[in-house]
Structure 1
Amino acid sequence: MLTSGVALGVHVPGLLLASRLEERGAEAVVEVIERLLPDDRLRMIEASRSVFHRDFRVARVGQRLASDPAQAVDDSALVALHRRWTGLGVRRVVVFSGFWLGALRRLSAMSLRLPEVTVCHVDSVDSPSFRRAGPAAADTEVIRLASSVTGDLPYTIPVTHRPPVPWAERGRRLLVHGGGWGMGTYRERAADLAAAGHVLNLVVHEPEEAASAPVGTRAYLMDPSWHPWHDDGYPPLGLLAPGRDPDTVEYRRGTSHHSSFDLAREATAMISKPGGGTLLDSLWSATPLVLLEPSGQHEEHNARLWCNLGFGVRYEQWRNAGFDPEYLRPRHEALLAAAAGPGRPRDVTEVLCTREGSSCMR
């Protein structure tokens, strides 16, 4: 699974696919492109993450102007990576970030034999990393978890084997977050929703954000010291109680999926910008999305698709309906039908295991 740490919305689906494949007996390895970068470039990325989190306008501009991190990877690092793949007997790579396409081209130019390549698009149109990378090789298999062209969900990656929580059993809390890097207007919307009488679970990325959270809000802190290039685990998340020393937070993370998904399963709605990973959470939890401002054109396409399929509403639309939870019930029911009906998306795990034959065992 070839991912990038600059977007948890593509990294976490890569982790999920690895988990689902391992459950079937396949060997799966997650590679994060940033692990191949020199330390100074990594520090720049970490600094950018902090800036983007604090200022959404800067994040939008930075997304358009960001350079391809793979260009900073030395040839020697790529050769060493290829040597390791050969030793592991890697037969296929699944590309979740377009940043990897340039690295694969460089390996091919060195006359090094590549594994079979599958490109997996998490967003409904090409994300910035894929647009920047240009077209994949002609013989590359391309699959999409969502498609604005066909207006449907061709493929999916199971987040969990547990069924969605029935609508009547949900605790009426809303899950509010800003994606993996905590970007967007979610904090302002959290204050508005709390003022309207809703109780919230809020994912924060800095301890001081918990202190300013609305009264009655449960603030879950994503470990500020963790980055996807540190390990292959899911993002650590911990409940930060009011007045508690952030240094004493006990971070937990799931072993088969990300902890924030458990919050999504119990929620009446997720309030977030429409990243590809958030769409996947919405589908598998059958939790409607209340869509905030997108961070780019690919997320705007995601928002339109989710609204057209009846899975989500724009924030302004729900506000005009008085923030009524029952207004969202038909979206929950539509998600249930989409995941279980005859036209449900094909499981990427099944597709890969069928193709690889005996390397995947039940």
Structure 2
Amino acid sequence: MIELLTSGVALGVHVPGLLLADRLRERGGQARVTVLERLLPPEKLATTAAMRAAFHRDFRVALVGQRIATDPVDAVPGDRLDALFVEWAERHVRRFVVFSGYWLPVVAEYRDRYGHVEVDVCHVDSTASPSFTGHRDTSARQVWLADADAGRLPATIPVSREPQVPWARRGRSLVLHGGGWGMGTYRERVGELRAAGYALDVVAHEEADAEVDDPDVRYHLIDPRWHPWLDDGYPPFGRLRPGRPTAFARGTGHHGSFDLVRTAMAAVGKPGGGTLLDSLWSATPLVFLEPFGAHEQRNGELWQRLGFGITLEAWRDRGCSPDVLEELHLALRGAAWRVPDLSELLLRGGAR
């Protein structure tokens, strides 16, 4: 049994955990996902939900909030940790894959109580993200899905086994999104990108985001009532049609927004780690907006170094040409299949 430890604070951390669980099960492995926020008391969860709304509405607030974030484990009641440890022991959990650094002291305490366990730390970003800044486990194996320092992709988690969509079959459309919390300045780019002649699929965060009355600007929504700590499924996702109920559906085997990305000419947004993963497996280039912190800045630099992405400013200087995006797509095409599959590495007994 492999326990995958994620956090609902960012879908770029949680969704890769769900993807890895599915890929492990497809190979006959046993895997379970545990979300850190399920241990928190209701008042702390309410604060987290309020922060999510504030970060979406003002990216400047998000940038400040990242610098002053507190460790959520400090708010976990001791009896909840005790109950979790008993559950792990009863299920004979001896291997963990940690996607959020906040889990590391929890796993260390479990090891102190119940003996040796194997720990793999899976970095979705290309350099250490904030949750790992103050938490280290020198005995854990460090697994990188992207490595900014080395300029390479050491391992990956397949998002989908479906063939990548050829360039000739893609419409002249872009996907705009701000990650799981809808952060960044992507909504401010709608007018400019429509003027450049692209149809847009905009991943909204709330119904009020659908401000443009244009048949070539389509809005989509993650169910705002859903949170990662409620269930183990992918986020319910649907087309937003103002004045009509949104028909939310869960993706099978992967998250619903990936189906938009894989048929687009590019995805436009901040360079989060989960966004890099979607780009790699869809062969869809990234057009970068302002990053959320230093780790996302490094993500964008790596994608540009590999020839997989471009900043909006640089693309604008080249006339927002689809030919530029096609060059990036050609660099991406097939690249995912040349990267070691983390699910295979784990089931072989190791990760590198």
TM range (shorter): over 0.9
What residue is the counterpart of 1:330 in the other structure? 327
Matches within 5 A, 1:1-362: 1-109=4-112, 111-113=113-115, 115-133=117-135, 135-136=136-137, 138-212=138-212, 214-241=214-241, 243-245=242-244, 248-340=245-337, 344-355=338-349
The one-letter amino acid of 2:327's match is P
Per-residue deviation, 1:213: 6.0
C-alpha distance 170-69 of structure 1, shift in aligned 2 (>3 A): same
Q: Is the 8 A contact 2:59 2:183 kept in 1?
A: yes
Runs of 4+ in 1 over 4 A off after TM superposition: none
Q: Distance in 1 between matches of 2:168 and 2:116?
A: 51
1:2 match: secondary structure: strand
Contact persistence 2:283–2:334 (CA under 8 A): no
Change (3 A) 1:150 1:213: farther
Indicate if the aligned counterparts of 1:34 and 1:42 stay in contact, CA closer than 8 A: yes
For structure 2, the 5+ residue unaligned runs are none
8 A contact 2:303–2:309 mirrored in 1: yes
8 Å contact kept, 1:154–1:346: yes
Q: Relative to structure 1, is the Cα distance of residues 164 and 72 closer, same or farther in structure 2, using a 3 angstrom cutoff?
A: same
- Residue type at the aligned position of 2:226: W
How far 1:338 sits from its partner (Å)?
2.4
Shift in Å, 1:221: 1.1
CA distance in 1, matches of 2:116, 2:349: 17
Task: Report the 3-state secondary structure (helix = DSSP H, G, I; strand = E; otherwise coil) of the residue aligned with 1:326.
Answer: helix
How many aligned residue pairs are there?
347
- Superposed CA offset, 1:273-300 (max 9, x none): 0000000000000000000100100000
TM-score normalised to structure 2 length: 0.96
Aligned residues of 2:111 and 2:117 also touching (Cα < 8 A)? no
User: What displacement does 1:238 show?
Assistant: 0.8
Q: Which amino acid aligns with 1:354?
A: R
Structure 1 distance, partners of 2:314, 2:74, is 43
TM (norm. structure 1) is 0.93
Letter in 2 for 1:315: L
C-alpha distance in 2 between matches for 1:211 and 1:83: 50
Q: Deviations over 1:50-102 (max 9, x none)?
A: 00000000101101110010111122211211111122222311000011012
For residue 93 of structure 1, give the secondary structure of its aligned residue in structure 2: strand
CA–CA distance in structure 2, aligned partners of residues 213 and 277 of structure 1? 30
Deviations 1:209-240 (A, max 9, x none): 11436552110011111110010000111101
- Between 15-24 and 77-86, the greater mean CA deviation after superposition: 77-86
> Which residue identity lines up with residue 341 of structure 2 in the other structure?
D
RMSD between superposed Cα atoms in Å: 1.3
Q: CA–CA distance in 2 between the matches of 1:327 and 1:24?
A: 38
1:3, 1:253 → 2: CA distance?
19
Structure 1: runs of 5+ lacking an equivalent: 357-362
Tell me the amino acid that sits aligned with residue 121 of structure 2. Answer: V
Q: Does structure 1 conserve the Cα–Cα contact (< 8 Å) formed by 2:95 and 2:118?
A: yes
**SS at 1:279's partner residue?**
helix
Residues 128-148 of structure 1, C-alpha deviations (whole Å, 9 max, x = no match): 000132x21x22111100001
Q: Structure 2: which amino acid aligns with 1:153?
A: L
Distance 2:246 2:188 in 1: 25
CA–CA separation in structure 1 for the residues paired with 2:67 and 2:141: 27
1:119 maps to a residue whose letter is: V
- Answer yes or no: is the 8 Å Cα contact 2:126–2:148 preserved in 1: yes
Match of 1:187, SS state, is helix
Report if aligned partners of 1:107, 1:114 keep a CA contact under 8 Å in 2.
Answer: no
What is the CA deviation profile of residues 230-289 of structure 1, one whole-angstrom value per residue up to 9, with x for unaligned ones? 100001111012x433xx211011120000001111000000100000000000000000
Q: Per-residue deviation at 1:16?
A: 0.2
Amino acid at match of 1:351: L
Call closer, same or farther: CA 1:107–1:91 in 2, change over 3 Å.
Answer: closer
- Amino acid of the structure 1 residue aligned with 2:310: V
